[in-house]
Copies of this chain bind each other. A is one copy, B any other.
Amino acid sequence: MAVVEISVTPLGTTSPGVSSYVAGCLQIVEASGLKHQLTPMGTVIEGDLDDILRVVRSMHESPFRIGAMRVSTLIKIDDRRDRAEHTMAGKIKSVETKRKS
């Protein structure tokens, strides 16, 4: 299982605001059924890596469908295979446990 962060940014739009493009991407994640979390800087998705990459590919295409001519997409994969479970909640919990001790 992998945890993946993605941010999709259209370039050369007339306005500095790009939230309508981001909203389009978010709807694609939501429709995928994959567990995800919207952050101020991107969307984090957890699950099977190939399932996630299919969704990521579709998210990247999304701004083009509503008029963007150039899209910059940043994807960060955290893929850990030494344990059965590797989740968004598990990662957060692990850091918070260490912080308290």
Contact = CB atoms under 8 A, between A and B. Distances in A.
A interface: dominant SS: mixed
Given A38-B95, A44-B39, A72 B64 contact: no
B79 A70 contact: yes
Interface string A45-85: 01001100100010010001000011111111111111000
Number of copies of this kind of chain in the complex? 4
Contact of A12 (B15, B76, B78): B15
A56 to B, nearest CB: 9
A94 B78 CA distance: 25
Interface string A28-50: 00000000011111101010011
Contacts of A23: 95-96, 98-99
